[in-house]
Amino acid sequence: MRKAVQYSEDIQMPDGSWYGNWGICFIYAAWFALRGLAAAGKTYHNCLAVCKAADFLLKLQLDEGGWGESYLSCLAKVERDPTPLHRAAKLLINSQKEDGDFPQQEIARASLRTCMIHNPT
């Protein structure tokens, strides 16, 4: 556990964030890092990394009270062709049922051999 805490602290960015490798991006990564630090008994009162993360998250809070982030907040900013995003949105819109739900499909993959993930196909 000590090594995991040290690793989390070592990869934290100077602004208090962590880079998210699986999601968009910094808020998502902070959630995982903070959950791990909390599991190790780290709190705002005994861990500088938690304090820095709290400050980072508070600076990002939106006027309406929530948090949000887009792919534009990732470090490697590049111009992207919006066509794939439009195709994905069209698929989601056309797949949605009248009641707002989406049809259940079979589990498509496993992540890190720890959980099964359901992805629409």
For 116, residues 6+ apart whose C-beta sits below 8 A from its C-beta are 107, 109, 110
**Choice between 18 and 109, residue whose per-residue pLDDT is larger:** 18
CA neighbor of 9 nearest in space, from 26, 18, 1? 18
What pLDDT score does 46 carry? 96
Q: How would residue 114 be classed by pLDDT, with cut points 50, 70 and 90?
A: low
User: Residue range 106-118: average pLDDT?
Assistant: 63
What pLDDT score does 77 carry? 45
**Identity at 82, one-letter amino acid code:** P
Per the CB < 8 A criterion, the answer to whether 69 and 25 are in contact is yes
